[in-house]
Structure formats: C-alpha cells, structure tokens
Amino acid sequence: MTAASRHSFTVNLSILFGELPLLERPAAAAAAGFTAAELWWPFGTEATPSEAELDTLRKAFTDAGVQLTGLNFLDDLTLGARGTVSVPAERDRFRANVPVAAGLAASLGTQALNALYGNRVEGVDAAEQDALALEHLVLAARAAHEIGAILLVEALNRAESPDYPLVSAAAAVEVVDKVNAATGLGNAKFLCDLYHLAKNGEDLAAVIDTYADRFGHVQIADDPGRNEPGTGGLDFEDLFARLTVAGYTGPIGLEYRPSTGVSADSFGWLPREHRAAK
C-alpha cells in the first residue's frame, strides 16, 4: 500500500482541465476517475451571478456525478488579485458574494469555503486592512457554519504573490485563531498548500507536525514548476505518510498545472483506483 492510497483526493478544476471550457471539466474529471473537485471562484469578477448561471454550474457537477468539495469566495484572481477579504474598495462586492457563495456551496453539499485574504493596498494602513479582514472572515465563518461548512484561510508564496501578507503557515494560523476567538465557532481552519509553503522555504515536515490539528484542507503541486508530483523535488510519499501519522484524514486537493498541458496525462503518479473519494 502506498502512502497516497491512505488519502482521498480532489481535483481543482480551476487549474486542472483548464484546456477545456469550465462546464466540461467535471465530466472530464469523472472520466479520469475522480469523484470530487474544488474550484476557485468560478464566475470571474461577478460577485453575484444570476440564478441561471448558478444552475448551469450546478448541473455540470450533478450530471457528471462529481462532488464539489471546496469553493473560493470572490477572489478576483482573473484580475491578478489574491482575494477581496481585506481590500476596502471591495467591501460591498465581498459582502454581496458571501450569501451567494454559501448558497451555491449548500446546494452542492460543499463543506469547505476558502476566503483568500487579499493583497496589501498602497496607501492603506495595514492595520486597517487587517481589521476589515477579521470583520469579513467572521462574516464568512458564520455563513459557512450555517451550512455546516468550514472556513479556510490560506498562505501563499512571496515569489508569486509579493503583496499578499500571509506568506507563512504561522501567519495564516494566527488569522485562523483570531477568527475562531471572535466567533466562538471553531470552524476556521488552515488551508495548507504544500507547494506555496515549499516555495517559501518552509520545513514541510515541521509544518505538518506543528499545525496538522488546524488543517482544514491540504493542497499539493510539485516545486518548482507547480506541476504534478514527480516533476520537482518534493517527496510526496513522505509527505502523505507524515499527514497520516499526524492524523490528517481530510482530502488532498490537486492544484497543479499539468506539465504537458494535457490534464488527463498528468495523473500517472496516482493509480486510478485511488482517485475516487473515499
């Protein structure tokens, strides 16, 4: 038995199968053997898409028999942003998006909602942004709690996101703890993206040992390159085994770019029998 076989996997359809239109990706994931998927905010800069747009996306997942397990709140990634939570100019858009994202998640049984913190804004005091972020994360945590979901807070890497303030596991966990203290709900968790942390030079084994009890989700890509496991220098057999020993039983999200550009060809490292969610 490999270390990978002890875990469930979910495929991020905002980056994998990106060679296909979004609505065709759930079926492509199913054809590759996956039964669970996650998404960045799938409507670009639209904070409040129409019910028809929401229904069309729902149908793509239900028709494919693929469970949407994770969803970002409004992230503005299509604009090169890294979330809207702490950005004063996006206050109204984020607040309008919270019930829409939570409603979509509830309708698909999605149990994890990711709120990217947002970049630092030139001319705005960092303390002001942090206060707004806490206010918004509390709002998001309560919305998630109402549908039986968790709220995720993610650390990114400095090289690719130089204006994003959460660039270490410790920084993200500190925010998680503040949100839980403010709500009393305990449903804010750390999204541990091993690629971002590796790119930041963190000791991944130490991160797992120290913070595994705070993990709400784990995502992976090899480093460097952000391609599939086996294309870089990370020892995933060791990392998967460490996650098991540390007691992490949640899914592992595949959030990598296929090295050949063809997503279906990038899963050779993960035998088909291990792709379906357990």
Mean pLDDT of 56-83: 98
Mean pLDDT of 164-168: 98
Closest CA to 189 of 199, 179, 197, 198: 179
Domain limits for position 65: 4-274
| Catalytic residue flag (residue 154) | yes
The per-residue pLDDT for 207 is: 98
DSSP secondary-structure letter at 43? T
The per-residue pLDDT for 2 is: 81
pLDDT digits (tens, 9 = 90+) for 235-254: 999 999 999 999 999 999 99
Residue of 38, 90, 202, 255 marked active site:
255
- Measured from the Cβ of residue 131, the count of other Cβ atoms closer than 10 Å reads 12
Q: How far apart are CA 98 and CA 143, in angstroms?
A: 7
DSSP-based three-state secondary structure for 223: coil
CATH of the domain at 57: 3.20.20.150
- Report the number of distinct structural domains present in the chain: 1
* pTM attached to this predicted model: 0.97
Mean pLDDT of 228-239: 98
Report cis status (omega within 30 of 0) of the bond before 99.
no
1 pLDDT above the threshold of 70: no
DSSP secondary-structure letter at 188? E
Closest CA to 252 of 209, 220, 214: 220
Mean pLDDT of 92-120: 98
The per-residue pLDDT for 201 is: 98
Report the chain's mean pLDDT, rounded to a whole number: 97
Residue 39: phi, psi to the nearest 5? -140, 145
The per-residue pLDDT for 3 is: 81
Cα 232 from chain centre: 21
Residue of 154, 160, 202, 237 marked active site:
154
